[in-house]
Amino acid sequence: MEQMAIDVGALGKVAVLMGGSSAERPVSLMSGQGVLEALCGQGVDAHAFDPSERDLSDLKREGFERCFIALHGRHGEDGTMQGALEMLGIPYTGSGVMASAIAMDKVMTKRLWQSAGLPVPRGVVLHRGALAVDHLPDELGLPLIVKPAREGSSFGVTRVTEPGQLAAAVALAAQYDSAVVCEECIVGEEVTCAVLGEGAAARSLPVIRIQAPGGNYDFEHKYHSDDTRYLCPSGLPEAEETNIQHLVVQAYRVLGCRGWGRADIMIRARDRQPFLLEMNTSPGMTSHSLVPKSAQAVGLSYEALCLRLLAAATLDTPPRLLA
């Protein structure tokens, strides 16, 4: 991938937003620290800023000129922080308000993808007060994946293999969100693919194939275990990888994403059909994270990736309209 000449001095004073109040706070702190060190190491005037400990008005008062959003989950990745920064007139990394809000909501994301003819697993949405589960095995089969509609990092996610496990799985997911998604479990290989850019200029990075112990890519295997293997090059047939990259760019554009994002996909073993699971608009940037691994495969270092994303920081509202 081509290297960009970036005037570090023109980036101004930068806040790396990290921590926050979501269930993904620990992961965000790891991501943010990595980004902060990378930016400072390249001469950027970057500072840590935890919105759960400081008032956002401090961003304006202290003269921050742009923000690198290293927040994950609610109040960081779901459009709320993006909306606050729009009001403050401070450019930020990643997708805008609407795309962030939609991508955080797995139900709305699937609806948009389905309307565009993109492949997603069959599923049912349950809401608090109507969490009956007896019909699900007949409707969707087993195994099933049960997860909160608006959460990340595998919080509240259960793979259900027997009918007797369903009630507890739904109850766990409901602790994180009022809407619970129950989907058919696509049996096959798990891959992920990142996208950089916006609109017609959006381009995919190489696909990463994930091999977790027992096929269980949970929170522990995502962030703490060294047993999970990330294959990049993926080892997939060239035509299959190209097809997945094309699918992910389509999915990214349908949601209106910009800056960067990462889609998670399952490839069904019996016919090699890929299914879109979700789009992450503020992907992890920890030592175990996948976007940096994919960028590295095309010669884009972690430091260069951070700088590139920061340089692309923008607003939904053109600056001339804020005056």
* Active-site annotation holder among 188, 284, 294, 308: 284
* Active-site annotation holder among 19, 22, 24, 184: 24
* Active-site annotation holder among 176, 217, 223, 252: 223
Q: Tell me, yes or no, if 280 is annotated catalytic.
A: yes
Q: Tell me, yes or no, if 153 is annotated catalytic.
A: yes
Strands 13-17, 66-69: pairing is: parallel
Residues present in the chain in total: 323
Identify whether the C-beta of residue 123 lies closer than 8 Å to the C-beta of residue 183. Answer: yes
Question: Which residue spans within the chain are E strands per DSSP?
Answer: 13-17, 45-49, 66-69, 123-127, 144-148, 158-160, 179-184, 188-196, 203-204, 208-211, 229-231, 260-268, 274-280
Q: What angle do CA 154, 156, 162 make, to 5 degrees?
A: 105
Which residue type occupies 176? Answer: Y
Q: Tell me, yes or no, if 204 is annotated catalytic.
A: no
* Active-site annotation holder among 22, 100, 153, 234: 153
* Active-site annotation holder among 280, 282, 289, 294: 280
Q: Tell me, yes or no, if 223 is annotated catalytic.
A: yes
* Active-site annotation holder among 66, 74, 209, 262: 262
Which are the contacts of 258, defined by CB distance < 8 A and separation ≥ 6?
94, 95, 96, 99, 197, 198, 199, 202, 312, 314
Q: Tell me, yes or no, if 262 is annotated catalytic.
A: yes
The catalytic residue positions are 24, 153, 223, 262, 264, 278, 280, 284
